[in-house]
Amino acid sequence: MSAHHFHPTVLREYDIRGIVDDTLNARDALMLGRAFGSHVVRDGGRRVCVGYDGRVSSPELKKALIEGLMDTGIEVQEIGLGPTPMLYYAVFEEDADGGIMVTGSHNPPDYNGFKMMLGKKPCFGAAIQALGQTAASGDFVSGDGAYGRVDLFDRYIQRLLGDFDGHAFKVAWDPANGAAGTAVEALIGALPGEHIAINTEVDGTFPNHEADPTVEKNLEQLKQVVRDHGCDFGFGFDGDGDRIGAVDRHGRVVWGDQILAILAGDLLKELPGAPIIADVKASQSLFDRISDLGGEPVMWKTGHSLIKAKMTEMQAPLAGEMSGHIFFRHKFYGHDDALYAALRLMNAIAAQGGDLAALKDGLPPAVNTPELRFPCDEERKFAMIDEVRARLEAEGSDMFTGDGVRVNTDDGWWLLRASNTQAVLVARCEARDDAGLARLKAALAQALEAAGVEAPGDL
C-alpha cells in the first residue's frame, strides 16, 4: 500500500476537517481508513463502527473510508446516516474497538471531515498526528476485513428517553436540516407535551440556514416558531447533532454557558461538591455560580475531545462549552449528545420552577460580547497567538494560557484563541459594566494590532 500525505490543514487538534475536493477527498478517506485501521489492529482491536452525516459528499467519503479500514483486516459495522452522538453510542453499546463519523459538523456545505474514537476514548491531538505519520510512511497493516450493518437507531432513541423525567412542555425543535433531523422526529413522537419541529428533512445543502446554533441569526427561524406558537422554549442543533442552542419563551438566546449553569443548578443538588468543567470562552459568572452552588469550577481548553479527556481525568459528571457542546458522565457515557442534553435540560427546567425565561433572568448579569470570529490564515493563526502570548507575558499580564490567552483585568477579562476547526481567530470580552467592556475591547484591539492583525469592526 502506497504512502499518502494529507493536506497540512486537515489534521486538526480534535478531528480531521477540510474542503471537499480541495483539501479533502475520497483518497484521503481511503488512506485514513488504512491508517486508523492499522492503529486499531496494532492495539489488538478488530471492530470499528462507522457512521455518516447528511452532507452531499458524505456517502462517497464513507465508502472510501470503509474500504480503507477493511484493507487492514478490520470488521466494519456501519450504523448508517445519523447524528455523531449515535456513532459514539454505537461504540459503547457494540463494545467496538473504535469509531469514525464522517461529518463536517457545523461547517458550510463544502466542508467535510471525520470525528474518531480509539477504543472508548476520543482520538485527538498527538493521536491524529500519528495517523498522518502512518499514512506518510505507508506503514499500513494488511488484511482481509469484513463488512456488516447494525441498525441501532431505535435503541439509541430509547436510550435518550431513558433519563427523561416525563414533564410535559410545549417545545419548538430545529435540527437545521442536519443529520439529527430523523432522530428529532422520533424523539418528539415519544415525548409528552406539544412539539413543533421544523427543518427535519436531512439536506446537506442546508437550504434554510447554516447548521450552527452559536450564530444568533441561525436561530431566528426557531425564535419565530417559539413566539408564533407560544412555546415554553425551543432547541436548535448543529449539522451533526452534538451541539445545542436554546431560546426561551421570549425568543431570547440561552447561551451555552447559561445552559450549563442551569444544568449545574439541578445536578449539584444530587452531587454536591462535584467538579464541573467549562471551556475558556465561558462567562466568569458561570464559574462563580458553580462555586456558589457548592461545586468545583474547572476552566479548560475549548474542544470536544479535550473536554471529554479532562472529564475522564477528573471523573467530572458534567461539562460544557460556549459552542453548545454539553457533556454528561452522570448517567451517560461522557460524550456530547445535543438531543440527550435537551432532555436533561428539560428535566433541570422542570426541577427549578418550569420556566426557562425565569431561570435565565436569575443568572448573574454580565456585560459581554458574543463570540467574535474573524479570518486569519490557517498557516498563521497559531503563530499569531504565540506572539500575543509572549508580549503579554513580558508585560506581566494575569492570564490563563491553556488555550490561547484569557487575560484577567480589574474590569473583567478578554480572550483571544485560534479556532481548531476554521481559519479564524476567536475573541470574547466580558466586564461588569459598559465602560469596562469598552476598555477591554480596546485592549484586545491593541493586542491584535501589535501582532499585525487589523482589529475587526466589532471591536
**Model confidence pLDDT, tens digit, residues 95-126:** 999 999 999 999 999 999 999 999 999 999 99
Q: Is residue 254 domain-shared with residue 354, that is, in the same domain?
A: yes
> Of the segments 183-187, 300-304, 430-434, 437-441, which one has the largest average pLDDT value?
183-187
Asked if residue 243 and residue 201 are part of one domain, the reply reads yes
55 and 73 share a domain? yes
The answer to whether residues 213 and 338 touch, using CB atoms and an 8 Å cutoff, is no
Number of structural domains found in the chain: 3
Write the CB contacts of 264 (distance below 8 Å, at least 6 apart in sequence): 276, 289, 290, 293, 295, 318
Same domain as 243, residue 354: yes
Residues 101 and 248 in one domain: no
Domain end marker among 151, 177, 202:
151
CATH code where residue 136 lies: 3.40.120.10
* Mean pLDDT, rounded, for 188-212: 97
Cβ neighbors of 120 (< 8 A, separation 6 or more) are 91, 92
- Whole-Å CA distances, 10 to 20, 163, 379: 11, 37, 12
| Active-site hit among 38, 58, 105, 419 | 105
Instruction: Tell which of 316, 336, 365 closes a domain.
Output: 365
Q: Say how far apart CA 120 and CA 131 lie, in whole Å.
A: 17
Query: What is the mean pLDDT of the segment spanning 75-101?
Result: 98
The answer to whether residues 112 and 167 belong to one domain is no
The answer to whether position 455 is within a domain reads no
| 272-302 residue pLDDT tens | 999 999 999 999 999 999 999 999 999 999 8
Q: Residue 457 pLDDT more than 80?
A: no
Q: Which of 121, 151, 181 is the last residue of a domain?
A: 151
Q: Are residues 373 and 431 in the same domain?
A: yes
Q: Are 238 and 337 in contact (CB under 8 A)?
A: no
Rounded-to-integer distance, Cα 427 and Cα 388, Å:
13
- Expressed as residue numbers, the domain containing 133 is 16-151
Confidence at residue 1, expressed as pLDDT on a 0 to 100 scale: 65
- Does the annotation count 105 as an active-site position? yes
